[in-house]
Amino acid sequence: MRKKIVAGNWKMNMNLEEGIKFAGSVNNYFKEKPSEKAEVVLCTPFIHLAGVSEILRNGKISAGAQNCASEASGAYTGEVSAMMVKSTGAEYVIIGHSERRTYYHETDSELNKKTALALAAGLKVIFCCGEVKEEREAGKHTEVVKRQLTDGLFSLPAESMANVVIAYEPVWAIGTGLTATPQQAQEMHHYIRSLLNEKFGEDCAATMTILYGGSCKPSNAAELFSLPDVDGGLIGGASLKLEDFTAIVEAV
């Protein structure tokens, strides 16, 4: 059985007070109604992370960051290292989100360094991949995802894959209201599993949690999560509303 996960990606939303309050509400919700099928993760801005981790400490859900530095420590003004993320009590870090790749020009090789540092710090990595609209229209989506995974992830040792979760997020579906069709999502998730099989073997392919992300909401979550190779979701916009987020978790 693969682990199912629903991770909220708050992106750059909510000030500290709002974020702490919201994490408290999510935590209380799942204390009363524990999510039996899926692990729940809240990926918050760095500023919120220590406070949110503290709130979640005795609860049922985990905290994560949305990024970490590609260097271990030192003179990198404004950066936050994987060790620092870990020291807040957070368990996860998202690496390679398309917004980081696009707006901050993060390259596959930098993402590879970030992933290695995060794993070495004892974090679990949610490694994102996905094609832009033009690449899908040109029929290059599998090629793009293969490159992102090969260059960003596959040079790491097989043992470390136990602490990696892959999130397939077609960029054209993120925050746009457009969702991959069940066929498109299943096809890509299955393809990713075949790449894992080739590179790391059957066990890794069978046990890797692969999340879908991109305009996932209460109305489409159940259908997406019922696909054989989809093991949960990475949720942006809908993770900012308690009702929507909890409904998505319950759709697993």
Catalytic residues: 97, 169
The site map against ligand PGA for 30-69 (x = CB under 6 A) is ----------------------------------------
The DSSP code for 3 is: P
Tokens encoding 135: 């690449």
Comparing CB distances to ligand PGA, the nearer of 205 and 238 is: 238
Cα(24)–Cα(134) distance, rounded to whole angstroms?
A: 40
Tokens encoding 185: 């999502």
Interface with ligand PGA, residue 175, by CB under 6 A: yes
Comparing CB distances to ligand PGA, the nearer of 61 and 235 is: 235
Please give the angle made by the CA atoms of 89, 91 and 94, to the nearest 5 degrees. Answer: 125
Comparing CB distances to ligand PGA, the nearer of 173 and 205 is: 173
Interface with ligand PGA, residue 174, by CB under 6 A: yes
Residue 136 beta carbon to ligand PGA: minimum distance, rounded to whole angstroms: 16
The closest of 77, 169, 168, 65 to 117, measured between CA atoms, is 65
Backbone angles phi, psi at 5, to 5 degrees: -135, 140
Task: Please give the biggest Cα pair distance in the chain.
Answer: 48
Interface with ligand PGA, residue 237, by CB under 6 A: yes
Backbone angles phi, psi at 110, to 5 degrees: -65, -40
Helical spans, DSSP H, in 46-93 = 46-56, 82-87
Residue 85 beta carbon to ligand PGA: minimum distance, rounded to whole angstroms: 18
Residue 216 beta carbon to ligand PGA: minimum distance, rounded to whole angstroms: 5
Q: Residue from 6, 9, 114, 229 that binds ligand PGA (CB under 6 A)?
A: 9
Interface with ligand PGA, residue 235, by CB under 6 A: yes
Comparing CB distances to ligand PGA, the nearer of 45 and 213 is: 213
Cα(236)–Cα(238) distance, rounded to whole angstroms?
A: 6
Residue 74 beta carbon to ligand PGA: minimum distance, rounded to whole angstroms: 30
Contact 165, 211 (CB under 8 A): yes
Residue 104 beta carbon to ligand PGA: minimum distance, rounded to whole angstroms: 14
| Residues in 179-218 that interact with ligand PGA by CB under 6 A | 213-216
Tokens encoding 18: 């709002």
Comparing CB distances to ligand PGA, the nearer of 182 and 194 is: 182
Cα(3)–Cα(174) distance, rounded to whole angstroms?
A: 24
Contact positions vs ligand PGA (CB under 6 A):
9, 169, 174-175, 213-216, 234-238
